[in-house]
Structure 1
Amino acid sequence: MDHHPVVIKLGGSLLGQPLLQDWLAAIHQHARGRAVIVPGGGQYADAVREQVDLTAEMAHYQAMLAMRQAANDCIALNPAYKRADSLAAIARLLAADETPIAVPVDDWLFAGDIPASWDWTSDSLALWLADRLQAERLLLVKSVAPDDNPVDVHSCSGIVDAAFADLLTRVTVEGYWAGPATADQLPAWLAGEPRHDIARLD
């Protein structure tokens, strides 16, 4: 990989919403070959949470498969995207000027620094991936608009998962947060000029 990508995590709350199509269209238009998308698990992950008889390891694995199903939903909406199931596949697609929707399940499962815990959801998995890819920046697209509170407050309130704030202090990737209806601001963020509706996570 001869350049540093950006990683964009599209929250699972967008699944089934017209705003998801807006984001997919904007990313394809403005960041093809540069962005790596990580999908949230949405209702598929919620279904895993409802299974009380799962071990932590089983729930961890099934939650990642939920993200893979969300990736398939995104591709059904916009077939220009390709699913990438490994770090190697992500690199190949970026090199081919494609935009991967990344769910590298095996790479996550065999990473010694990712525990089998609901503290790690698609937020922290996306941040881990951004760090592993030496990404320029990470953007979390959430169901709510950003505010000025520090990231540890957002971890406590559930805006980001419980592991995210600590992980952010241990990586060099800059994290940002966008509300759901701000796809039109993506070009400015890509140019390093985020507007007030895209906030840095500190």
Structure 2
Amino acid sequence: MKVVIKIGGSLIREAPELVDRLVKEFGSGIKDAPPGGVVPGKMPFSILIVPGGGVFADAVREADEIFGLGEDASHWMAILGMEQYACYLQDKSRVKGMDSIKELSQGVSILFPYRLLKAEDPLPHSWEVTSDTIAAWVARQTGAVFIKATDVDGMFWKGKLIREIFTPDLAGDFESCIDSALPGFLQKNKMECIIVNGKFPERVIQAVYGKPVTCTAVKGNI
């Protein structure tokens, strides 16, 4: 089973623990790493981590505000920010890095997205398109379940967690933690995004297994 997990920049402090827990559960694809999560008779998982931009993309935003960068420059610089976050995650773990999605490794791996996106250039160059929509595109291309791990439990309306919402309903006054391009992408491609709090690794693991968990399921024309 293929799963794309976008790990947001808001989790930069907690992300190493989350990645370690995923590796213990599902393995890592590194030859000399412990084969955690590999249980005879169980379905193997290919877990591809797509890094957010975090503080690295924020630096590009700041440079854009000060120096007035063009949309193309901002787009590619921000994706290079995702590469920096990928380097950080790999430095804190023993997880295999990948720059292609043609064949996903069994266990957990981290996507270094710049080369792939530069070759495909599949999305508009705009600050409305961030790592959320990029991760959704990766999930679509690989036929993977799409999970967004962030620092909140999901989406809220008037202080209450929304368990499930359809993309056409997102025009309301919601406390959103997704980029503005993601709902349209999910709608167009008939996809679902599970938003879960990555500060609780067990929740992410439960979401991977498709079990009930505290989250928001954002459904696009499903």
Task: Tell me the TM-score normalised to structure 2 length.
Answer: 0.77
Residue 70 of structure 1 pairs with residue 85 of structure 2: yes
Deviations 1:150-185 (A, max 9, x none): 352599755100100000112243210011322112
Q: Which of 81, 84, 98 is 1:84 aligned to?
A: 98
Aligned pair count reads: 189
**Aligned partners of 1:102, 1:123: CA distance in 2, in Å?**
14
Give secondary structure in 2 for the equivalent of 1:192: coil
Q: 1:45 — aligned with what?
A: 57
Q: 1:22 — aligned with what?
A: 17
5+ residue gaps in structure 1?
none
Q: Which one-letter code corresponds to 1:126 in the other structure?
A: A
Deviation, 1:40, is 0.6
Q: Which of 131, 136, 139 is 2:140 aligned to?
A: 131
Give secondary structure in 1 for the equivalent of 2:25: helix
**Aligned partners of 1:142, 1:28: CA distance in 2, in Å?**
18
Runs of 4+ in structure 1 over 4 Å off:
153-158
Query: Is contact 2:147–2:207 with CA below 8 Å preserved after alignment?
Result: no
Q: Which one-letter code corresponds to 1:144 in the other structure?
A: V
Query: Is contact 1:75–1:82 with CA below 8 Å preserved after alignment?
Result: yes
**Aligned partners of 1:175, 1:116: CA distance in 2, in Å?**
22
**Aligned partners of 2:132, 2:216: CA distance in 1, in Å?**
16
Give secondary structure in 1 for the equivalent of 2:195: strand
Residue 201 of structure 1 pairs with residue 190 of structure 2: no
Q: Which has a greater percent of helix?
A: 1
Deviation, 1:84, is 1.3
Q: 2:185 — aligned with what?
A: 167
5+ residue gaps in structure 2?
28-44, 155-160
Query: Is contact 2:5–2:148 with CA below 8 Å preserved after alignment?
Result: yes
Deviation, 1:86, is 2.3
Query: Is contact 1:155–1:165 with CA below 8 Å preserved after alignment?
Result: no
Q: 1:178 — aligned with what?
A: 196
Deviation, 1:201, is 1.4
**Aligned partners of 2:5, 2:111: CA distance in 1, in Å?**
10
Give secondary structure in 2 for the equivalent of 1:99: strand
Give secondary structure in 2 for the equivalent of 1:115: coil
Give secondary structure in 2 for the equivalent of 1:101: strand
Give the superposed CA RMSD. 2.2
Q: 1:5 — aligned with what?
A: 2
Q: 1:54 — aligned with what?
A: 69
Deviation, 1:108, is 2.0
**Aligned partners of 2:139, 2:77: CA distance in 1, in Å?**
22
Shift in CA distance, 194/109, structure 1 to aligned 2, threshold 3 Å: farther
Shift in CA distance, 185/143, structure 1 to aligned 2, threshold 3 Å: closer
Task: Tell me the TM-score normalised to structure 1 length.
Answer: 0.84
